[in-house]
Amino acid sequence: MEEKDIIKELQNGNSDAYRRIIDEYQPFLLNCCFRFVHSREIARDITQDVFVEVYKSIGKFRADSSLKTWLYRIAITKSLDYLKAAKRKKRFGYVKSIFGFDEDDMNIPTLGSAPFEQVENEERIKILSDAIDSLPENQKAAFTLNKYSGLSYKEIADILGTSVSSVESLIFRGKANLKKKLFNYYKRHI
Amino acid sequence: METEKIIEEEVNKTLSALDGIPSPASDPFLFERFNERISRGENKKIRLPQAGRLKPVALALIILINIITAIVFLSGKENGAVKEQLVSSLRSDYDSNQIDY
């Protein structure tokens, strides 16, 4: 079945067509969301939201881009929206903690008796995730899609609605910013 | 110089910290979950055209409420003299600087 036929079936509300795109695109979208939000559970929820959004908006989809590109766009938008909301919540939690209210989310999880390497790697993951999250949105999206979703510059350009040269520049600046942030972090902590 | 070298090493190690993390496993029940959410939301979808049809009724109701309010307001003008008297007595109460507790 060609993509335009699948889109037509999706627009007609054919559940087999939905099953088909869920089976085909779930792994890519799940991985994409996971690389943004760094949580498997949240990535699963966002992936589900992506398909619900497809159901709601497929009538407006004019196939200017491929279905895959459109799905990635929705996934990235939803992931970035989640991160923004999480940041707001964190800020609010901080304010609450200043005024003496307890915030469960702010409790640091105990690592138990995990081996030193594991603890060290978890620490590094946290530092890197925070540094990626602090990048400007377009640099974060381009860098993450390239490094962790393995998409080509052309695919990223289509998803972000920009040119290949812009994507190259975004990735270059993203990497440079990331190195700078990490360098400054270790400069303060070593 | 030595510290800078150590920092560079740490930066490079940290930059590759996420490389070995495997992708999450797909949810085998995602379609079922999606279907459930859609069937819950479908009620809303069915209601939408009906809501569209109700628009003129809602508009007529708002106009009717406005007309009734206007009638009530205008009929109230007959008691204008009484109201004016009340307002002036209240004004004189407020204007007097007398403190009498």
Using 50, 70 and 90 to split pLDDT, how confident is the model at B92?
Answer: confident
User: Average pLDDT in the B6-25 region?
Assistant: 91
Task: Considering only the beta carbons, identify the residue of A19, A30, A51 that sits closest to B24.
Answer: A30
Single-letter code of the amino acid located at A163: S
**Cα separation, A49 vs B25, whole angstroms:** 17
Would you call B48 an interface residue with chain A, using a CB distance cutoff of 8 Å?
Answer: no
End-to-end Cα separation, chain A, in angstroms: 58
Contact B34 A51 (CB under 8 A): yes
Token pair for A136: 């400007």
- Please, how many CA atoms are within 13 Å of residue A187, restricted to the half-sphere of its CB? 8
Residue of B26, B29, B42 to mutate, interface with A, max A Cβ within 10 Å: B26
Place of tokens 């999606």: B34
pLDDT tens digits along A118-132 = 778 889 999 999 999
Work out the percent of chain A whose per-residue pLDDT is above 90: 75
Domain boundaries, chain A: 1-106, 108-190
**Cα separation, A135 vs A177, whole angstroms:** 7
Contact list in B for residue A34 (CB cut-off 8 A) is 23-24
Using 50, 70 and 90 to split pLDDT, how confident is the model at B36?
Answer: very high
Contact list in B for residue A35 (CB cut-off 8 A) is 18
pLDDT tens digits along A69-125 = 999 999 999 999 999 999 888 777 766 666 655 444 434 344 444 566 777 888 999
What class has domain A1-106?
mainly alpha
Provide the ipTM: 0.77
What class has domain A108-190?
mainly alpha
Same CATH fold, A108-190 and A1-106? no
